[in-house]
Structure 1
Amino acid sequence: MATPETATGKRPGTDGSATDLRRARGDRTRRAVLDQAVQDASVHGLDALSLGGLAATAPVNKSAIAGLFGSKEGLQLAVVARAREIYTDAVVVPARPAGRGLARVWALVGRWIDYSRRRVFRGGCFFRTVEIEFDMRPGPVRDAVAEAQADWEGYLAHQVEIAVGAGELSAGTDPEQVAFEVNALLSAANDRSLLFDDERAYGYAVAAVRTLLESRGADPATLR
């Protein structure tokens, strides 16, 4: 007669639920560490992250953090990936209800300003901090940061392209040029607000983006 173990291949009372619980605990721990790390990196940069430093503030010890990420570079890459998720949830997702094209571009501008102003990341825009840190340092971390920024600017440029195709912006408008200029203005607002502790930078950026889009034929009524 087969025992429960020989019939199922498992010992009595073990059905995978224990494994699922361990995995869930591991996922929660990983998320807690990453959420602390992205905030720290937004202020001090990715190089300042350390397993020991995170163990002092996150609910897990140093060896457990090492087990989760393997190395400092592994931790840095995971932090960049988590920052992309947070950024998408704060900027891209809330802008989706706006119609594709010019309305979406304007909604993205508004959501980006809100994201920076309310310090979703404690140090302002996470990607502004780390792109300066890694722009001259080839390797996987730089590649991950560059990919995140390229995806954002590409999405913005795509919405501009749709606006041009719909006649909302003048024919011949270069979507990549507009995306570059918009992103530069938003980045400047973020940096100035931090350096001078002055939120007027956001108003200046919104006014400048509005002028930029109107100079390409945007209807002012769409940009209210």
Structure 2
Amino acid sequence: MSKGQQTRAIILTEALRAASVEGFQGISIGMLADRLKMSKSGLFAHFGSKEELEKALLDEAAQRFMEAVWQPAMKAPRGRPRIEILFSSWLAWSINHEDLPGGCLFVALASEVDDKPGPVRDHLADLQNQWQAMMMRSAQIAIQEGHFRADLDPRQFAYELQGIFLAMNYYRRLLRDTAAVERAEESFRSLIDRAAALH
């Protein structure tokens, strides 16, 4: 990794930490330069604009998400075991990730940009659509493996799985519900039981 790539990685790590707590509105070239003891012009040279910084931040978060959530799941057997690892890794991503003190970056940013048309919103929506497609594909594989019933709607399964994750974040972070994770795990078990094939 070149010195420029190392500096860019350091900038994105600090931006991740800040954005998970404060959103895009809470980060700026100047703020990051102050925190990292860099010049504004030096930091600006890595991205060129606030918008490019935000898109790079989403890409960095997506890459780390894949490493923390998707890659561990892909090591598990196909079907239901893979979905179970995927969900537990997804919870850990939001709860225990050292570079995300404010929890899942995608949840933190979604309500901020959902009504703001533009490249950043489109990029976040595209990343989330890719994640939905991956969850749907995982459900389709579980059907093929005979773990889930044949008439299961993979899109509905992905929708409910996303809903469980969002509810966990809402109850845990806003309402400070100490049982939020346990409630999410119970909801997940219920979803899996309803999806399961009868033998």
* TM norm. shorter chain > 0.5: yes
Could you tell me the TM-score, scaled by structure 2's length?
0.94
Question: Which position in structure 2 is the counterpart of 1:155?
Answer: 134
- State the 4+ residue runs in structure 1 displaced beyond 6 angstroms: none
Give me the whole-angstrom Cα distance separating, in 2, the residues matched to 1:198 and 1:117. 13
Residue 48 (structure 1) shift: 2.2
Counterpart contact for 2:79–2:142, Cα < 8 Å? yes
Counterpart contact for 1:117–1:199, Cα < 8 Å? no
Residue 198 (structure 1) shift: 3.3
Q: Is 1:123 aligned to residue 102 of structure 2?
A: yes
Give me the whole-angstrom Cα distance separating, in 2, the residues matched to 1:83 and 1:216. 30
Give me the whole-angstrom Cα distance separating, in 2, the residues matched to 1:115 and 1:197. 18
Give me the whole-angstrom Cα distance separating, in 1, the residues matched to 2:195 and 2:8. 46
Residue 55 (structure 1) shift: 0.5
One-letter amino acid of the counterpart of residue 216, structure 1: A
One-letter amino acid of the counterpart of residue 190, structure 1: N
One-letter amino acid of the counterpart of residue 34, structure 2: A
Residue 47 (structure 1) shift: 2.5
Question: Which position in structure 2 is the counterpart of 1:106?
Answer: 84
Written as runs of structure 1 = structure 2, the 5 A alignment for 1:1-224 is 24-120=2-98, 121-217=100-196
Give me the whole-angstrom Cα distance separating, in 1, the residues matched to 2:96 and 2:179. 14
Give me the whole-angstrom Cα distance separating, in 2, the residues matched to 1:110 and 1:75. 30
How big is each residue's C-alpha offset from its partner over 1:10-31, in whole Å with a ceiling of 9 and x where there is no partner? xxxxxxxxxxxxx811111111
Give me the whole-angstrom Cα distance separating, in 1, the residues matched to 2:168 and 2:60. 24
One-letter amino acid of the counterpart of residue 127, structure 1: F
Aligned length: 197
Percent identical among aligned pairs is: 34
Give me the whole-angstrom Cα distance separating, in 2, the residues matched to 1:127 and 1:199. 22
Rg larger in structure = 1
Give unpaired runs (5+ residues) of structure 1.
1-22, 220-224
Could you tell me the TM-score, scaled by structure 1's length?
0.84
Residue 92 (structure 1) shift: 1.0
Give unpaired runs (5+ residues) of structure 2.
none
Counterpart contact for 1:101–1:162, Cα < 8 Å? yes
Give me the whole-angstrom Cα distance separating, in 2, the residues matched to 1:95 and 1:167. 18
How big is each residue's C-alpha offset from its partner over 1:43-77, in whole Å with a ceiling of 9 and x where there is no partner? 11113211110001124221111111001101111
Q: 1:27 to 1:216 in 2, by over 3 A?
A: same
